[in-house]
Amino acid sequence: MRIVDLRSDTVTSPTPAMRDAIYRAELGDDVFGEDPTVNRLEQMAADRVGKEAALLVASGTMGNLVCVLSHCARGEEVILGDQSHTFFYEAGGMSALGGIHPHTVRNQPDGTMWLEDIEAAIRGHNVHFPRTRLICLENTHNRCGGAVLRPEYMDAVAGLAKDHSLSVHLDGARVFNAAVALGIDVQELTRSVDSLSFCLSKGLSAPVGSVVCGSSEFIAEARRTRKVLGGGMRQAGIIAAAGVVALQQMVDRVAEDHKNARQLAEGIAQIRGLSIDPAKVQTNIIYFEIATDRLAPEKLVTELGKRGIKLLCLGPSRLRMVTHSGISSEDIDLALAALAEVMVKI
């Protein structure tokens, strides 16, 4: 049976070109700065997003944590969205390991936080308050359905941050999806942030790794923070080799994932008992609801699983599907046929 795995774009496997690059990678000890493949990836990544320097890390979670710990000291505060990945899904790392205080602001359905809400969350000078140090944005926004933040919005947040002497970090796990969806150079989305982390191992299909980017000074500090977290890897060129191929070959093709996601959303909108607004699907993540109480979402997941279709249940009636390089247009047809078959029986 063909398995159509729509749980996440993290399920992607390395391409043949990546496996070949991994096999041939020139290696050295990266803690001594001597792995030529890591150095090449870091330079490529920095150039691509328009920053001075970059640092390979093990994961998106580590990338965000390294950045937050590098920007903030104990007792300082980070403003971030109440639906952000960093707040929801990163095991409270900033407080657990850094003594850093998360201050959440409501995420709007389009992934933004209103500027007035951010401004209201910035602390004044008062001995009772933590000190605000950083604002975090997420683009694309995972829990807001892969929503794309536009460059003008990002610049406006950065302007506000500057007025209050704060820094801005971008969780850009899928920032290339955002750039491709908007049809712009990724640098328009990165120009105003002080640091960002993007993932090699999601839509770009590399097996492991994320890259943190920023000024040379910031990356020197981030390198030290990565070491503290046990993330100083040695012959990491094995990982970086796939990352180089990811940046060279896998960025533009995410447009196909976005097209497949729209096809999926439009199909779901036609199925009785399911609810989605296809117009809201901008990139490769779709959320839909079960609009009947005759079917529990867990049951839908089980029934689809029997038909080879995998998806995630992320709430009492909320389900998620994510398209990626392992999913073709024919797979979308299979998923829609299975959904229609299950829904017609209830």
Ligand X SMILES: Cc1ncc(COP(=O)(O)O)c(C=O)c1O
List residues near ligand X by CB under 6 A. Answer: 10, 59-61, 85, 138, 142, 171, 173, 199, 201, 210
- Residue (89 or 129) nearer to ligand X, CB: 89
| Shortest distance, position 89 Cβ to ligand X, whole Å | 7
- Bridge partners, residue 259, by sequence: none
- Residue (90 or 303) nearer to ligand X, CB: 90
- Give every CB contact of residue 95 below 8 A, 6+ residues apart in sequence: 101, 102
| Shortest distance, position 161 Cβ to ligand X, whole Å | 20
| Rounded distance between C-alpha atoms, residue 73 and residue 211, angstroms | 22
| Shortest distance, position 197 Cβ to ligand X, whole Å | 7
Residue number of the CB closest to ligand X reads 60
| Shortest distance, position 142 Cβ to ligand X, whole Å | 4
| Shortest distance, position 207 Cβ to ligand X, whole Å | 11
- Residue (46 or 66) nearer to ligand X, CB: 66
Contacts 24+ apart (CB under 8 A), 30-36: 30/56, 30/232, 30/233, 30/234, 30/235, 30/236, 30/237, 31/227, 31/232, 31/233, 31/234, 35/234, 35/235, 35/236, 35/237, 35/240, 36/237
- Residue (173 or 189) nearer to ligand X, CB: 173
- Residue (39 or 61) nearer to ligand X, CB: 61
CB 196 within 8 A of CB 49: yes
- Residue (144 or 338) nearer to ligand X, CB: 144
- Residue (107 or 210) nearer to ligand X, CB: 210
Task: Tell me the C-alpha to C-alpha distance, in Å, between residue 100 and each of 61, 90, 110, 275, 343.
Answer: 16, 13, 27, 39, 46
Give the number of other CB atoms < 10 A from CB of residue 102.
17
| Shortest distance, position 59 Cβ to ligand X, whole Å | 3
CB 339 within 8 A of CB 274: yes
| Shortest distance, position 344 Cβ to ligand X, whole Å | 33
